[in-house]
Amino acid sequence: NGLIENTARKRMISDFKESVCSSIHCITNHVKAKLLENTLFGMGNPLLDISAVVDKDFLDKFGLKPNDQILAEDKHKALFEEIVKRNKVEYHAGGSTQNSVKIAQWMIQEPHKVATFFGCIGNDHFGEILKKKAEEAHVDAHYYEQNEEPTGTCAACITGDNRSLVANLAAANCYKKEKHLDLDSNWELVKKAKVYYIAGFFLTVSPESILKVAKHASDNNKIFCMNLSAPFISQFFKEPLMKVMPYVDILFGNETEAATFAKELGFETDDIAEIAKKTQNLPKDNTKRQRVVVFTQGKDDTVATVGETVTMFPVVDIDQNAIVDTNGAGDAFVGGFLSALVQENKLEECIRAGHYAANVIIKRVGCTFPEKPDYQ
């Protein structure tokens, strides 16, 4: 009898485990099923990142400082041809928005092509590499290809622990709303999305494209996110920025960008929490969603508006010696945040995912990542 009871009990436990596993499988499948292709939409300046180790003579030849970020001038044109002849050249799909959607897709893993990306490239060799790299990152990139300007590139000239960045926007500046965004097949992809993200840099290229996407999101109660991107955006592109602001549901920025934005808008405060609150209260088109403002501060707490309050979120502790390159940290934070947002997580969880992604990226050169995230 004992043997029969024991066998029956084992079978019951086995059946119970199976039903629990089946339920968990159903739940996880349900979560995955919610994530469809093209749920996240990004639009911006696509650049092919080209990294190579160079020597001091190379820097001197092109008048570069070891640690710097500049826009390419005429004297730098030959640099891009010369750097690719170096040994051990690495290529990555880059540019601020493309970095963020690429990281969001990496955090999500599957399904592939949750992230869509629009931007302009040249009909050339670098353009082909960029398409291949976006495909490898499982991003559904639909580029507007033209022949007037070559594909935008960003050369990372590495000497020891330093890297000198030289960006040549070129084709990225040539995006045309009527030739790409307005096409029915492309606009259908925009309509499929539930979350939209555009870095402020794109205000210098096609503010009319941003407005079209932002209004669509607002009219359909979807989530439109934007980034202040750099102090010069608030300083010199304030008018197009403020035209888009009423449609912004989530605004990102760092402490320097926040301070410049506050100064340009006459907030008369340099307190980051107060700046976040005043930014949250700027006029908003879709009143069904309260604006969320998220300001990162490097190793200091991230500041975010949560309902009527401003909350501080500590970043992940890191040994300062483990930091290799903080360049992609902002893009990575946004990417991690968006990966949780498209899965309809709460703000706190989105920030946690953002902090995780930034923590991974700053331990590596460039905006690169391991094969899979180790994130729970």
Q: Do residues 204 and 230 lie in contact, with contact meaning Cβ atoms separated by under 8 Å?
A: no
Nearest Cα neighbor of 158 from 259, 97, 87, 74 is: 87
Half-sphere CA count of 54, side-chain side, radius 13 A: 28
pLDDT for position 31? 44
Q: Residue 69's beta-bridge partner residues?
A: 165
User: Is residue 252 classed as helix, strand or coil in its secondary structure?
Assistant: strand
Q: Per the residue annotation, which of 140, 271, 331, 374 is the catalytic one?
A: 331
Q: Which residue has the tokens 């001091």?
A: 56
Q: Which residue has the tokens 């030849």?
A: 61
Nearest Cα neighbor of 200 from 95, 109, 281 is: 95
In tens, the pLDDT along 97-145 reads: 999 999 999 999 999 999 999 999 999 999 999 999 999 999 999 999 9
Is residue 271 annotated as a catalytic residue, yes or no?
no
In tens, the pLDDT along 35-74 reads: 899 999 999 999 998 988 899 999 999 999 988 888 899 9
At position 196, the amino acid (one-letter code) is Y
Separation in Å, CA 96 to CA 85, 192, 217, 292: 26, 22, 21, 21
**Residues of the chain scoring pLDDT < 70:** 1-33, 87, 325-326, 366, 370
- Residue 221 CB coordination number (10 Å): 11
> Taken in order 127, 132, 119, 183, is the CA torsion positive or negative?
positive
pTM for this model (two decimals): 0.87
Distance, CA of 234 to CA of 238 (rounded, Å): 5
Q: Do residues 157 and 163 lie in contact, with contact meaning Cβ atoms separated by under 8 Å?
A: yes
Alpha helices in 196-246 (DSSP H): 207-219, 231-236, 238-244
Distance, CA of 12 to CA of 46 (rounded, Å): 57
Domains of the chain: 32-47+94-151+169-362 (3.40.1190.20)
Half-sphere CA count of 121, side-chain side, radius 13 A: 25
Tokens read off for 162: 């330093």
pLDDT for position 42? 98
Residue 44 phi/psi, 5° resolution? -175, -155
Q: Do residues 227 and 199 lie in contact, with contact meaning Cβ atoms separated by under 8 Å?
A: yes
